[in-house]
């Protein structure tokens, strides 16, 4: 299954809440766009004209006239009353927009924390099913980092960044639709420039993802060293190794700092690049728009052009956020890779179907038991036969590395024999 699909599956228990978030986001986006459209009747009423012109209106003004035309025209067309009505409609749109934004924010936080809780519990349960060999090969700090910090970053990919993407994309769609209704010629400039920005930013994303993975690995090493030091503090004190351990930590901390600087350097670069590019597009719109709004052959009324400029400038913010989305996702996906690496590990062999709990009454027998650790060809135990009866005391003696501990660890099934079997009664 592709990584993106696996991340989206984490949202399944929160489908209703996520749909509520999307609806609230869409309502907030539409109301946000409506506040800028109301600039047109506001400017007209401010300069003593009818709130909405009778002829020569744009598509956006036609829609506004159908929705709020009667209310805006109430009062016999007096400029003072029209201005009052515009302000009331504007206040209503602002209230509705902020209520919807609040609902979207609260539902987003609820989804975020639910997802990270589910992922941590799932990862913790899976860790308990993995063979002991995995824990011997993997540093404890790396596991702590994956359960705590990496799982926390995954929620950024699933909810925070995704919700932000939906919010900003909906804003862009609403803004572009309004801009098209105001002037399709000026809007075409912005639409044509968008793919160029994507091509500029795309090479940066691959670097961000690679650097983010390196950063996550180094964070795990740092956590692992602290966990080891705390667990063996008596040995550190006994061998007067404080200076040595401090130097080790200093080297790791310096290396982690370099990884963070590299990752953040590429991640931060996308913001100024996208903003400068958007500024150039707005400058081009201003240059061409003055020709449409000024002169004897003007095809764009001044108040419409002013509303267009305000909306175009407002469009820069969601465009910038969307441009940064792949960068945020790159870091979150790197953390998700580390979490899924553990979740994809096969669990240790559990009880087979039909097996019942063992009941020891008479004897334990090792019958031709052989064992070798994963990744090694040399057998630690080879064709061991052993019988121990209840109440009998047996001493297992041998040099270090002979397999004494391994022999005992096979009994509670910490490991499974490579061949042979262990029988009870």
Q: What is the pLDDT of residues 11-38, one digit of tens each?
A: 888 888 888 888 888 888 888 888 877 7
pLDDT band at 160 (very low <50, low <70, confident <90, very high): low
Please state which CATH number belongs to domain 3-343: 1.20.1560.10
HSE-CB at 124 with a 13 A cutoff on CA atoms is: 10
Average pLDDT of 137-149? 78
Q: How far apart are CA 94 and CA 26, in angstroms?
A: 14
User: Is residue 307 predicted with pLDDT exceeding 60?
Assistant: yes
Q: Helices 59-72 and 79-127 meet at what angle, rounded to 10? A: 110
pLDDT band at 194 (very low <50, low <70, confident <90, very high): low
Mean pLDDT of 259-270: 77
Q: What is the pLDDT of residues 371-403, one digit of tens each?
A: 887 656 678 888 888 888 888 888 888 888 788
Check: CB of residue 199 under 8 Å from CB of residue 251.
no
Q: Looking at the predicted structure, is the pLDDT value of residue 57 above 70?
A: no
Topology of domain 363-424 in CATH is Rossmann fold (3.40.50)
* pTM greater than the 0.75 cutoff: no
Q: What angle do CA 314, 315, 320 make, to 5 degrees?
A: 110
- The residues that bridge with 424 in the sheet, in sequence order, are 364
**Cα separations (Å) of 381 from 186, 289, 377, 408, 415?**
79, 84, 12, 11, 12
User: How confident is residue 99, by pLDDT bands cut at 50, 70 and 90?
Assistant: very high
Query: If you average pLDDT over residues 325-352, what whole number do you get?
Result: 75
pLDDT reported for residue 69: 66
Residue 406 binned pLDDT confidence (cut-offs 50, 70, 90): confident
Local confidence band at 184 (pLDDT 50, 70, 90 cut-offs)? confident
Has residue 60 got a pLDDT over 60?
A: yes
DSSP 57: -
Exposed/middle/buried for residue 143 (C-beta within 10 Å: 0-12, 13-18, 19+) = buried
Is the distance from CB of 256 to CB of 223 less than 8 angstroms? no
Tell me what the pLDDT averaged over the chain comes to. Answer: 77
118 CB-side CA count, 13 A: 16
- Backbone torsion region of residue 391, taken as left when φ is above 0, otherwise alpha when ψ lies between -120 and 50, otherwise beta: left
The answer, yes or no, to whether residue 85 has pLDDT greater than 60, is yes
Look at residue 113 in the predicted model and tell me its pLDDT: 84
The mean per-residue pLDDT over the stretch 391-420 comes to 83
Mean pLDDT for the stretch of residues 310-317: 76
Percent of the chain with pLDDT over 70: 81
The pLDDT of residue 2 is 66
What is the C-alpha separation between 132 and 128, in angstroms, rounded? Answer: 9
Share of the chain above pLDDT 90, in %: 0
Q: Where are the domains of the chain?
A: 3-343, 363-424
- Sheet of 381-389: strand order equals 381-389, 363-371, 419-424
Q: Are 104 and 113 in contact (CB under 8 A)?
A: no
Q: What's the pLDDT score for residue 107?
A: 86
Instruction: Output the CA angle 70-73-76, nearest 5 degrees.
Output: 125
Max CA separation in the chain (angstroms): 112
Sign, CA torsion 300/302/308/309:
positive
**Out of 93-97, 119-123, 209-213, 241-245, which region has the weakest mean confidence (pLDDT)?**
209-213
Residue 3 has a pLDDT of 65
Give the integer Cα–Cα distance in Å for 323 and 196: 12
- Among 106-115, 155-164, 327-336, 416-425, the range scoring the smallest mean pLDDT is 155-164
pLDDT value at residue 162? 65
Q: Determine the average pLDDT of the residues in 312-334.
A: 73
């Amino acid at each position: 299954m592709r990584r993106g699909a696996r991340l989206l599956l984490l949202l399944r228990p929160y489908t209703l809440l996520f749909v509520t978030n999307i609806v609230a986001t869409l309502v907030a986006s539409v109301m946000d766009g409506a506040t800028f459209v109301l600039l047109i009747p506001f400017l007209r009423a401010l300069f003593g004209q009818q709130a909405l012109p009778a002829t020569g209106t744009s598509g956006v003004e036609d829609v506004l006239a159908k929705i709020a035309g009667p209310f805006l025209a109430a009062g016999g067309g007096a400029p003072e009353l029209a201005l009052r009505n515009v302000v009331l409609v504007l206040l209503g749109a602002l209230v509705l927009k902020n209520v919807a934004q609040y609902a979207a924010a609260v539902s987003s936080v609820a989804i975020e924390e639910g997802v990270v809780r589910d992922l941590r519990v799932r990862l913790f349960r899976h860790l308990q099913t993995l063979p002991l060999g995995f824990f011997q090969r993997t540093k404890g700090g790396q596991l702590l980092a994956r359960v705590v910090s990496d799982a926390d970053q995954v929620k950024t990919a699933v909810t925070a960044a995704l919700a932000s993407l939906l919010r900003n994309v909906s804003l862009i769609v609403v803004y572009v639709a309004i801009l098209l209704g105001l002037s399709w010629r000026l809007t075409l400039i912005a639409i044509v420039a968008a793919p160029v920005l994507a091509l500029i930013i795309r090479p940066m994303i691959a670097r961000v993802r690679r650097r983010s993975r390196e950063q996550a690995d180094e964070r795990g090493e740092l956590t692992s060293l602290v966990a080891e030091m705390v667990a063996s503090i008596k040995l550190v004190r006994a061998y007067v190794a404080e200076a040595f351990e401090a130097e080790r930590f200093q080297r790791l901390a310096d290396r982690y700092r370099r990884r963070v600087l590299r990752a953040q350097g590429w991640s931060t670069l996308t913001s100024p690049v996208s903003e400068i590019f958007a500024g150039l597009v707005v400058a081009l719109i201003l240059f061409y728009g003055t020709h449409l709004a000024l002169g004897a052959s003007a095809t764009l009324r001044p108040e419409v052009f002013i509303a267009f400029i305000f909306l175009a400038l407002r469009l820069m913010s969601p465009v910038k956020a969307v441009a940064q989305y792949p960068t945020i996702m790159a870091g979150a996906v790197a953390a998700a890779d580390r979490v899924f690496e553990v979740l994809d590990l096969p669990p240790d062999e559990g009880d087979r179907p039909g097996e019942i709990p063992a009941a020891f009454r008479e004897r334990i027998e090792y019958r031709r038991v052989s064992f070798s650790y994963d990744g090694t060809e040399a057998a630690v135990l080879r064709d061991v036969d052993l019988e121990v009866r209840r109440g009998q005391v047996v001493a297992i003696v041998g040099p270090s590395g002979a397999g004494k501990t391994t022999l005992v660890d096979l009994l509670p099934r910490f490991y499974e024999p490579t061949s042979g079997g262990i029988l009870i009664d």
